Structure 1
Amino acid sequence: MDVIEIMNTRVVTVNENMLILDVRNIMMEEDITALPVVDKLDCLSGIITQSDLFTLENLYLRNDNYNKDQIKGVKVKDVMTKSVITINKSVSVEEAANKILSNHIHRLIVTDGQKINGIVSSTDILKAILDK
């Protein structure tokens, strides 16, 4: 079985120039924990996760001079992870599982070059393996 058979093709993306507060709202509305980040050409440029948002908020809260308005101007590109682990849609589910495990991540962005085709999570892979 290949990744193309289990990947989610409905991928919500955010632009790298979006504000963090808008991203947080999208995550809450869509009930998702990570969003691929695209540039102005709609090419993959990073990923932002709930963990990134928690880390950012924690950094601000630890600052004695914390001003709630400071976080309002922070953009996605300032906190996103730029090195994204990707996979091709023709790769086997087993290979995708190994990639997730070896990189200690929860999802892989499925790409064709820099264009996003889908996303496959550890849950998707586990379900596919167990349903075999």
Structure 2
Amino acid sequence: MLVREIMTTPVVTVRRTATIKQAVRLLYEQDITAAPVVDTAGRMVGIVSEMDLLRGEFGANPRAFLRPEALPTGGPPALVEEVMTPRVATVGDGADTLDLVELMITTGVKSVPVLRDDELVGIVSRRDLMGLLAQGDERIREDVLAALRDCADTASFGAAVRDGVVELYGSGDERSARIAGLVARTVPGVADVVFPEGLVS
């Protein structure tokens, strides 16, 4: 499965000169946890997350401190560019989703912007990936059958799905069965593909 098949597009972005309050409101209203930050030309210059925006937004309550000198000093940041992460982990839209998952695991990031050349074309979050895994078997079966119908070599195959595992059946030869297996594995939510005994050796 390729990243472009699962990414969210168009991308909700925030200007680097936006205020913290504007960015907080945007992320909250869009129900997202992070957004790419762009300059006036629309080029991505960073990414800002909920955690970034929370820094300094809640003033200290003097009752929480035993000694007055323990109170923090200095005002909170005012603009997104002051709290954004400038070095952004990105992935190409033609990359394999497995590579994206590995990137998220190794870096700990929750959202990864997707580029085509140097253009921002999408974003993938952990929530997007969890949504794929949570799809019901009937939806997966419908998507597998649709994908199989799109290929002349596999149009005659049927499918049954249980807990994300696709069983392919049909009257095709071993070559067409192998192609059907490859096609089925590209469908979001498919955990594995199996065949009746003897269809593929």
| TM surpasses 0.5 | yes
Structure 2: where are the runs of 5+ without partners?
Answer: 62-69, 134-163, 165-188, 191-201
Q: Are 1:64 and 2:71 an aligned pair?
A: yes
Other-structure match for 2:6: 6
Compute the TM-score of the two structures, normalised by the length of structure 2: 0.57
Structure 1 gaps, min length 5: none
Displacement of 1:20: 0.7
Taking every aligned residue pair, what percent have the same amino acid on both sides? Answer: 29
Hey, what does 1:35 align to over in structure 2? 35
Report the CA distance between 1:54 and its aligned residue: 1.8
Higher RCO (CA-CA < 8 Å; seq separation 6+): 1
Q: Which has the higher helix share?
A: 1
Number of residue pairs matched by the alignment:
128
Shift in CA distance, 2/12, structure 1 to aligned 2, threshold 3 Å: same
Structure 1 stretch displaced more, 108-117 or 96-105: 108-117
Amino acid in structure 2 at the alignment position of 1:61: A
Write the distance in 2 (CA, Å) between the matches of 1:114 and 1:27: 24
Which has the greater radius of gyration? 2
TM-score (norm 1): 0.85
User: For 1:53 and 1:106, how far apart are their aligned partners in 2?
Assistant: 15
C-alpha separation between the residues in 2 aligned to 1:90 and 1:114? 13
CA distance in 2 between counterparts of 1:61 and 1:117 reads: 40
Residue aligning to 1:94: 98
Q: Which residue of 2 aligns with 1:47?
A: 47
Distance of 1:64 and 1:7 partners within structure 2: 44
Q: CA deviation at 1:43?
A: 0.5
